[in-house]
């Protein structure tokens, strides 16, 4: 079977990482029909937008995209392509596995957890009112008329919507992920003891959905207690399901437990489409230097293989990546004991090592 996949190289170091990932994925033996389209700062001048409509149309057609990192300049009005893709394609679930690999520098061993983050609601819904504006004044006046606790007139306001429908969708996705991957436990992460009508709603829905998955243990953990627990005993956690803001913060924390964003893959999944991407930035200062570590994007490709039903290829790909990292000879500079180690290899050469490992595994089967 040949899988049609939209390929979005990104900008900065994105094209180098994407090319390395493409070669590794093809080396698994899975067949792809790549539909190449562009997004990011490099197409702004021509297209007038960082996310051309033809790129979106391709993802809608194929239902699957592999995307390189894309730059979002700060303070320019440039819309984040990542946010736009999630909005336009209805990608409600962000999946961030964090797993220890021998050879990656970390303070922890045996971490193997998955963050399942809701992508559409919470404080990231973008419903805000700036301090001192007439709109903020109207909202504050309305709220002050509804409650004894008064909001200062000069306040900025953010609204935190959490609905039962979106909560059920993401929580059910987390349990179904756990079932499909043989996971033993799903933890619901909230601050429901304080935010009783938003986080409390999320927790209430979690308890209802958990009844449909009796073979999976449901846990309930407050987000502050989770932070302490992850630092003390991260090996105890399995699948974490969180509202949007907590999910954003915790997914970076958990990436730090296993060596950083350079080894942390990501997927954003909706009902009709899925986008697989590294979780780090585009590192434009390293553009064209064949230097940046492609592990996170290659492992995102592994998630894509699983999504496509190519489980054996996904397993072989992860095993090859793990073997090359554990050996430690043909890895990029950031995975060496010293970052100025002259034996470090480039992005392409690291991909070559993984391809060789895949070939060797195939020969031994």
Catalytic residues: 124, 191, 224, 248
For the chain, give the secondary structure using H, E and C.
CEEEEEEECCCCCHHHHHHHHHHHHHHCCCEEEEEECCCCHHHHHHHCCCCCHHHHHHHHHHCEEEECCCCCCCCCCCCCHHHHHHHHHCCCEEEEEEECCCCCCCCCCCCEEEEEEECCCHHHHCCEECCCCHHHHHHHHHHHCCCCCCCCCCCCEECCCCCHHHHHHHHHHHHHHHHHCCCCEEEEEECCCCCCCCHHHHHHHHHHHHCCCCCCEEEEEEHHHHHHHHHHCHHHCCEEEECHHHHHHHHHHHHHHCCCHHHCEEEEECCCCEEEEECCCCCHHHCCCCCCCCHHHHHHHHHHHHHCCCHHHHHHHHHHHHHHHHHCCCCCHHHCCCCCCCCCCCHHHHHHHHHHHHHHHHHHC
Contact 4, 64 (CB under 8 A): yes
């Amino acid at each position: 079977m040949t899988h049609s996949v939209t390929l979005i190289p990104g900008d900065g170091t994105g094209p180098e990482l994407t090319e390395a990932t493409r070669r590794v994925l093809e080396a698994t033996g899975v067949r792809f029909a790549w539909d190449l389209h562009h997004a990011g700062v490099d197409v702004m001048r021509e297209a007038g937008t960082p996310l051309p409509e033809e790129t979106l149309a391709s993802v809608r057609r194929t239902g699957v995209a592999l995307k390189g990192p894309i730059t979002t300049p700060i303070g320019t009005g440039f819309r984040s392509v990542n946010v736009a893709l999630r909005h336009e394609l209805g990608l409600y679930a962000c999946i961030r596995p964090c797993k220890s690999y021998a050879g990656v520098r970390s303070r922890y061993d045996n971490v193997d957890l998955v963050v399942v983050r809701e992508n559409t609601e919470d404080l990231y819904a973008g419903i805000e009112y700036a301090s001192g504006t007439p709109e903020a004044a109207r909202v504050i006046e309305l709220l002050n008329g509804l409650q004894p606790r008064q909001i200062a007139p000069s306040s900025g306001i953010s609204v935190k919507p959490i609905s039962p429908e979106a909560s059920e969708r993401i929580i059910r996705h987390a349990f179904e992920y756990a079932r499909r991957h043989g996971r033993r436990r799903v933890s619901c992460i909230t601050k429901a003891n304080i935010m009783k009508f938003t986080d409390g709603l999320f927790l209430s829905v979690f308890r209802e959905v958990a009844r449909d998955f009796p073979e999976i243990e449901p846990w309930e953990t407050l987000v502050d207690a989770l932070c302490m627990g992850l630092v003390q005993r991260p090996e105890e956690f399995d699948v974490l399901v969180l509202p949007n803001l907590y999910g954003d913060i915790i997914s970076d924390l958990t990436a730090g437990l296993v060596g950083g964003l350079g080894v942390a893959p990501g997927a954003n999944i909706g009902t009709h489409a899925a986008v697989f991407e590294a979780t780090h930035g585009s590192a434009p200062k390293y553009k064209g230097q064949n230097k940046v570590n492609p592990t996170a994007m290659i492992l995102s490709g592994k998630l894509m293989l699983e999504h496509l039903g190519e489980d054996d290829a996904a397993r072989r790909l992860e095993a090859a990546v793990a073997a090359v990292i554990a050996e430690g000879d043909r890895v990029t500079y950031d995975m060496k004991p010293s970052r100025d180690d002259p034996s470090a290899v480039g992005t392409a050469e690291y991909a070559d090592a993984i391809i060789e490992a895949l070939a060797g595994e195939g020969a031994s089967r």
